[in-house]
Amino acid sequence: MHVPARIQRGLAILFAALLLTWPALLNRYPLLYPDSISYLQEGAPTAAAIFLHRFAGFSAMRSELYSLGILPFHWNQTPWPVVALNAMLTAWVLYLTIRSVFPRDTTRIFLAITAFLSLFTSVSWFVSLIMPDVLGAVLYLAIYLLVFARETVTRFERIALSLIAVWAITAHSTHLMLAFGLCILFALLLALRWGPIAGRGRAVAQVALLVAIAAAAQMALHSYLYGHPSLDGSRPPYLMARVIADGPGALYLRKHCATADHPSPATPAQAWAICAYVNRLPDNDDDFLWGEGGIWASADQKTGQRLLAEEMPLVRATLRAYPRQQLAASFANFTHQLNDFGVNDFDNNEWMEQSIDDAVPNSRYPGSLQAHDAVPSNAFTILQRWIVIPSAILLAALLPWLVRHRRYRLLGLMVVVAPTLIANASITAVLSSLDSRYQARIIWLVPLVAVLALLDWHNHRDRRDHRAHALP
């Protein structure tokens, strides 16, 4: 019985999506992170504020559009459909990416590569996690398809990729910054007339338009919800926490704040709210922001607003006073983050355990491996490192061949992935906090590109040998 190609493709994507959910199935519940609770909780209040104009007590610390986007999939009943959404989006975009390089025998190659990535990299862990993290990699692959492989996708697929890209950009602030950075990079490559991007100015402009639409949607929504346009909404003072935890910010405050020991400070810092905490500044950004009794966590609304207003003045003053020290600390953070991509952020959390029923009443989280700190993620951290590092070496070895043979799509994919990995480590470590999750959520793109390049090289060699044997 002949099965139509469209049905074969759909079944393959469905099966691949199922493969990508195995950590959640093993855990017996979707994987959670403390932020997951906020995303699950904030969808319904966001919908009520937007559609029913109920603003009383409304406050959302995370991306409102991501929380709103996943609301129809969980309705505060069960997070399993969110995992299904993650899996289907990832599997579909992976299929389109692989098809762009291997238009023939795509399904077999797609299933083999997805099985490899699912078992040996972090992709399945982030598909199984109730967070916007996996959408970052989906976004960067979508940008590759829309710019470097546009001719391989249908009009319907381009529209769907564009919609996914806009939502993914709004799902996390780093996605917006990285997408914007890629547009700048593409514009530079166009100006330099780099071969793989030649003639793709219109495609680059359309991706830039998607970034602009996402940014405009964020600003319009925040203007509606909070009364003033912004890209980051109601966020904590991440930069303040970072420079204080790094040391130079704390040095500046101890020198310039008015205290019993220094009653006559030399700068206007004496009026800052942060000066009230100068004798107990933490050396860790998590303790500053989220620790029990932490400065941000314990601040009332008025104090919180003052801390946010003081954030950039403190950062600028710190950079003026201690530029070398802050740059050294930031560079150390960057190098640490670049090399830290462990799959080890899936431990139980007391606050998360206590709060999950507020987001999903009568949840089955207590019966999961994660609730008992039994998720075997550390073993996969070691396994992934043994996959990622050889993959990076392999790509470096194949790069001259890719350039010499003008494998433009693979070169375009590398131009998306490599700068994104570096920029992601820089943005998260320098502007936010050190967390292996930040780099692990996209590091699986390295083995993906390496496998695609290796298969392309192998196929090219086989074709060459076949032609040689065919000659009389």
Q: What integer pLDDT is reported at residue 409 of this predicted model?
A: 95
Q: Could you report the average pLDDT of every consecutive run of 10 residues in the chain (472 residues)? A: 76 96 96 92 89 75 89 95 98 97 92 96 96 96 97 96 97 95 96 92 97 94 82 80 92 79 46 87 85 82 87 92 94 92 83 88 92 88 90 95 94 97 93 87 96 92 60 50
On whether the pTM is more than 0.85, the answer is: yes
HEC readout, the chain = CCCCHHHHHHHHHHHHHHHCCHHHHHHCCCECCHHHHHHHHHHHHHHHHHHCCCCCCCCCCCCHHHHHHHHHHHCCCCCHHHHHHHHHHHHHHHHHHHHHHCCCCHHHHHHHHHHHHHHHCCHHHHHCECCCHHHHHHHHHHHHHHHHCHHHCCHHHHHHHHHHHHHHHHHCHHHHHHHHHHHHHHHHHHHCCCHHHCCCHHHHHHHHHHHHHHHHHHHHHHHHHHCCCCCCCCCCCHHHHHHHHHCHHHHHHHHHCCCCCCCCCCCHHHHCHHHHHHHHCCCCHHHHHCCCCCCCCCCCHHHHHHHHHHHHHHHHHHHHHCHHHHHHHHHHHHHHHHCCCCCCCCCCCHHHHHHHHHHCCCCCHHHCCHHHCCCCHHHHHHHHHHHHHHHHHHHHHHHHHHHHCCCHHHHHHHHHHHHHHHHHHHHHHHHCCCCHHHHHHHHCHHHHHHHHHHHHHHHHHHHHHHHHHHCC
Q: What integer pLDDT is reported at residue 194 of this predicted model?
A: 93
Residues 6+ apart with CB under 8 A from 148: 100, 196, 197, 200, 408, 409, 412, 413, 415, 416
Q: What integer pLDDT is reported at residue 467 of this predicted model?
A: 58
Q: What integer pLDDT is reported at residue 464 of this predicted model?
A: 64
Backbone angles phi, psi at 129, to 5 degrees: -100, 135
Q: What integer pLDDT is reported at residue 264 of this predicted model?
A: 41
Q: What integer pLDDT is reported at residue 400 of this predicted model?
A: 95
